[in-house]
Amino acid sequence: EALEKILEAARTAPMGIPPSIAEVVVINGRDKVQELLPEMVRQTEQLGKMMRGWIGRLILRRMVGRDMWPEFHKFATQYMVPMVKWYKEKGVDAFAWNCHAVLLFHAHRGGLCPQTDCDIACTYAMLAAEALGLGTGWNGMLQGGVDQSKEWKRRLGIPEKNKVYAALTLGYPAHKWARGSPWKFKSVKWA
């Protein structure tokens, strides 16, 4: 019932250029979400191997772009690679955080505004979920992991020409917070 309400809110999201081409896959149930983890671990291990060699780093740098490379490298070495160790040694799920459900927003790569439409729909879903008392997380690991896996795209019914643009993890939080984590804009300028 909560997922239906969340999807209904996401359906009311504005779109870049009508009609929206965004599609959603709902993975409902902790056990079903956990089935994704071996693929996430495999891909993260592959990334770790690439990061250790200069040719791999060169390929990754070209893929993510020169401007984004320093932050990507820092994130990969400080978080992504240790996530595999935590999972293998202690069973810690730092990929989906034992969530109850995942919404995958995808669209045809050649459509008008696919990234924008999926991002806005995911944001509306996130706001609706938070209003219903669920915890949420925009999850780039699952987004990229599913998108890079032909097997998982096939299993989830995501067309080959579609790209997964956003993944939202949902669950009942272990702790209740009075408000979300505060953050600031890098700058605000009034003109």
b/e per residue 166-191 (b: at least 16 CB within 10 A): bbbbbbeeeeeeeeeeeeeeeeeeee
User: 26: which strand partners?
Assistant: 103
32: Cα separation from own chain's centroid: 16
What's the whole-number average pLDDT of the chain? 91
Please name the amino acid found at residue 33: V
Task: Please tell me the predicted confidence (pLDDT) of residue 75.
Answer: 87
User: What's the mean pLDDT in 4-29?
Assistant: 91
Predicted TM-score of the model (pTM) = 0.88
Model confidence pLDDT, tens digit, residues 85-128 = 999 999 899 899 999 999 999 999 998 899 999 999 999 999 99
Model confidence pLDDT, tens digit, residues 158-183 = 999 999 999 999 998 887 766 666 77
Contact predicate 165/107, CB 8 Å: yes
Please name the amino acid found at residue 107: A
Residue 113: which region, alpha, beta or left (left: phi > 0; alpha: psi -120 to 50)? left
Task: Please tell me the predicted confidence (pLDDT) of residue 179.
Answer: 65
Pairing of strands 23-28, 101-108: antiparallel
In this prediction, residue 34 has a pLDDT band, given cuts at 50, 70 and 90, of very high
Contact predicate 103/170, CB 8 Å: yes
Task: Please tell me the predicted confidence (pLDDT) of residue 175.
Answer: 77
Q: Which has the minimum average pLDDT: 3-12, 28-37, 72-81, 110-119? A: 72-81
Task: Please tell me the predicted confidence (pLDDT) of residue 153.
Answer: 96
pLDDT above 90 (res 132): yes
User: What's the mean pLDDT in 14-38?
Assistant: 91
Helix H or strand E encompassing 15: none
Using alpha carbons, list the distances in angstroms from residue 188 to 4, 180, 182.
Answer: 37, 21, 16
User: 137: which strand partners?
Assistant: 169
Task: Please tell me the predicted confidence (pLDDT) of residue 174.
Answer: 80
Pairing of strands 162-171, 101-108: antiparallel
